[in-house]
Amino acid sequence: MISVRELRRNFGAIVAVDGVSFDVEKGQVLGFLGPNGAGKSTVMRILTCFLAPDSGTATICGYDILKKPIQVRRSLGYLAENVPAYDEMTVGGFLNFVCDVRQLFGKKRKQALDRIVPMCSIESVYHQTIETLSKGYRRRVGLAQALIHDPEVLILDEPTDGLDPNQKHEVRGLINKMAKDKCIIVSTHILEEVEAVCSRMIIISRGRILVDSTPEKLKQEHRCSLDEVFRKITKSKVA
Binding site for another protein (CB under 8 A): 45, 48-51, 69-71, 73-74, 78, 80, 82, 84-89, 93, 97-98, 100-103, 145
Nearer to another protein, 87 or 227 (CB): 87
Of 175, 167, 166, the residue nearest 195 (C-alpha): 175
- What phi, psi does 31 have (nearest 5°)? -90, 130
Minimum Å distance from CB 189 to another protein?
20
Nearer to another protein, 13 or 239 (CB): 13
Of 34, 36, 63, the residue nearest 47 (C-alpha): 63
Minimum Å distance from CB 225 to another protein?
34
The residue ranges of DSSP E strands in the chain, in sequence order, are 2-11, 14-24, 29-33, 55-60, 63-64, 76-79, 153-157, 183-188, 200-205, 208-213
Nearer to another protein, 89 or 190 (CB): 89
Minimum Å distance from CB 208 to another protein?
21
Nearer to another protein, 9 or 200 (CB): 9
Minimum Å distance from CB 143 to another protein?
13
